A and B are shown apart, each in its own frame.
Chain A
């Protein structure tokens, strides 16, 4: 029997993912696709409120995406647990988990602060698109979940696409434009759904 040395152990740990790599790829893709449903829900809500009450209190409207974000997080976390997969593959330290939770709290707090400062200037839909795009890109770049290379690059591409859409919306649309909600709904559905389904089908 060949000797089991440190290098062999490192190779084994690295390659262990190949056993269920396809399942993880599909779960990553479906996770992105789930966000392709949660994000348009935010903008549909904006459209409904916009039609009912206009943009009165648009600072508060700038926060409307937060509960949808938390709901998406709850659904995707449940999906990973339902597939009996740990995420990431090598369990993180308790300290890292707390840092991750702290990072979310800080990011959400920052989003609330920015919403109160800027949402009424660019319009709540554009602000929400910029916030979601920025948060998505940062999370994909930092990659605490140690995603597959394909999944990571797709998530970065989706984040950049959402942020770029937010910039275009902020520049091209008036803060109270009725077109902002449909544009946001379409863009936030197409980018994550296309990327997520592509990854899930390709696995």
Chain B
């Protein structure tokens, strides 16, 4: 099995790992936590959304609705499979 090319990219993997640990995250929180530019984060989120790994929705935060991102079930499964595959490859390399 080969590594998922969408996840095998540093910024996207960091985004997915962050979303796996935090059920919902705002654009600003991810940008600051991962130290990415707006354009860079936006482009990677778009790619992940197109692939069906991430979904954005408007949730009530205080008195207004804000956009929050979360992993889809498909994204969650893909991340788990990716983590398992990475571990398997490294195990194999150790012999």
Contact = CB atoms under 8 A, between A and B. Distances in A.
Q: Do A and B belong to a common assembly?
A: yes
Interface in B28-86: 33-34, 76-77, 79-80, 82-83, 86
Given A6-B86, A6-B89, A90-B83, A12 B21 contact: no
A13 B23 contact: no
B20 A86 contact: yes
Contacts of A12: 10, 13-14, 17
B1 interface: no
A90 B80 contact: yes
B90 A6 contact: yes
Contacts of B83: 13, 90
Contacts, number: 65
A95 to B, nearest CB: 12
B10 A19 contact: no
Interface of B: 3, 8-10, 13-14, 17-18, 20-25, 33-34, 76-77, 79-80, 82-83, 86-87, 89-90, 93
Contacts of A81: 23
A3 to B, nearest CB: 10
A61 to B, nearest CB: 40
Query: Which of B10, B79, B86 has the most A CB atoms < 10 Å from its CB?
Result: B86
A89 B77 CA distance: 13
A9 B89 CA distance: 11
Nearest to B88: A6
